C-alpha cells in the first residue's frame, strides 16, 4: 500500500496554543504541508490544560471526542454540551464561537476537521472486529487494546495509521487479550 503512514500519539510534536491553554499534536493533514487556512482535512489530538475559547475555523466541519480526562463543557449560542463520555463523537461547525470549560483537570481530545464542500468524513468507534469500507483517505487510531490490520505492524493503544490516495486496510481485528479494545476509524472522501 502506498502513502501509508504510521504514528504513535505521544511521539508526535506538541505545539503549544497561542493562548497557553494547551497543546496540539497534529496526526495528519491533507494536502501535505497545508496550513490551518488551506487544509482539506486534518486530524489531531489536543490536551486542554485551561478554560478558554475554541479557535474559529470558518468553512470547516469539526468532530471532537474525549480520549482521556474528566471532560469538557462546551457552550455557545444555542450550544450547551458536556463532552464527558469517552469516545462519543460530537460534531459542530468550525465557525461557531465556543467556550470550553474543563470539568476537572487536564483532558485530551481527538479532533477531526474537514473543509466543507471539499471533503466529507465518517468517524466511527469500534469495540470488535470491523470490515472497513474503502476510502481513498482514512485514519485508524487504536485507543485501547492491540489491533491487527494486515497493512502494518499491529497497532497498540496510542498508535495508528493513515493513508492518502491509496486503498486503506480492509479490516481491523483486535487481539483476544487486553480487556476492552477500542478503535477510531475515519473514512475521508472528496465531496
Would you kindly state where each structural domain of the chain is located, as residue ranges?
12-115, 119-190
From CA 103, how far away is CA 58, in angstroms rounded?
27
pLDDT in tens, 21-65: 999 999 999 999 999 999 999 999 999 999 999 999 999 999 999
Identify the pLDDT of residue 1.
Answer: 42
From CA 147, how far away is CA 141, in angstroms rounded?
9
Is residue 141 reached through a cis peptide bond, with omega within 30 degrees of 0 on the bond before it?
A: no
Q: Which CATH architecture has domain 12-115?
A: Sandwich (2.60)
From CA 145, how far away is CA 87, in angstroms rounded?
14
Class of domain 119-190: mainly beta
Report the candidate in 109, 106, 170, 115 with the shortest Cα–Cα distance to residue 138.
170
Identify the pLDDT of residue 2.
Answer: 55
pLDDT in tens, 127-140: 999 998 888 999 99
Average pLDDT over residues 101-116: 98
Report the candidate in 185, 131, 130 with the shortest Cα–Cα distance to residue 163.
185
pLDDT category of residue 178 using cuts at 50, 70 and 90 = low
Q: Residue 164: CA atoms inside 13 Å, Cβ hemisphere, count? A: 12
From CA 29, how far away is CA 119, in angstroms rounded?
12
pLDDT category of residue 19 using cuts at 50, 70 and 90 = confident
From CA 32, how far away is CA 9, in angstroms rounded?
18
Amino acid at each position: 500500500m502506498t502513502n501509508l503512514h504510521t504514528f504513535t500519539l505521544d511521539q508526535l510534536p506538541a505545539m503549544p496554543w497561542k493562548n497557553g491553554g494547551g497543546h496540539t499534536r497534529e496526526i495528519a493533514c491533507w494536502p501535505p504541508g497545508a496550513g490551518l487556512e488551506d487544509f482539506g482535512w486534518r486530524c489531531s489530538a489536543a490536551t486542554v490544560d485551561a478554560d478558554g475559547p475554541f479557535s474559529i475555523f470558518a468553512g470547516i466541519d469539526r468532530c471532537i471526542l474525549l480520549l482521556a480526562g474528566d471532560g469538557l463543557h462546551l457552550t455557545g449560542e444555542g450550544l450547551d454540551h458536556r463532552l464527558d463520555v469517552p469516545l462519543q463523537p460530537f460534531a459542530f461547525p468550525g465557525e461557531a464561537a465556543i467556550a470550553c470549560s474543563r470539568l476537572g483537570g487536564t483532558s485530551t481530545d481527538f479532533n477531526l476537521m474537514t473543509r466543507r464542500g471539499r471533503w466529507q468524513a465518517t468517524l466511527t468507534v469500534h469495540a470488535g472486529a470491523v470490515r472497513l469500507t474503502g476510502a481513498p483517505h482514512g485514519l485508524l487510531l487504536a485507543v485501547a487494546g492491540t489491533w491487527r490490520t494486515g497493512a502494518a505492524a499491529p497497532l497498540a493503544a496510542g498508535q495508528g495509521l493513515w493513508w492518502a490516495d491509496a486503498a486503506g486496510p480492509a479490516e481491523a481485528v483486535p487481539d483476544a487479550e487486553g480487556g476492552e479494545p477500542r478503535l477510531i476509524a475515519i473514512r475521508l472522501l472528496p465531496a
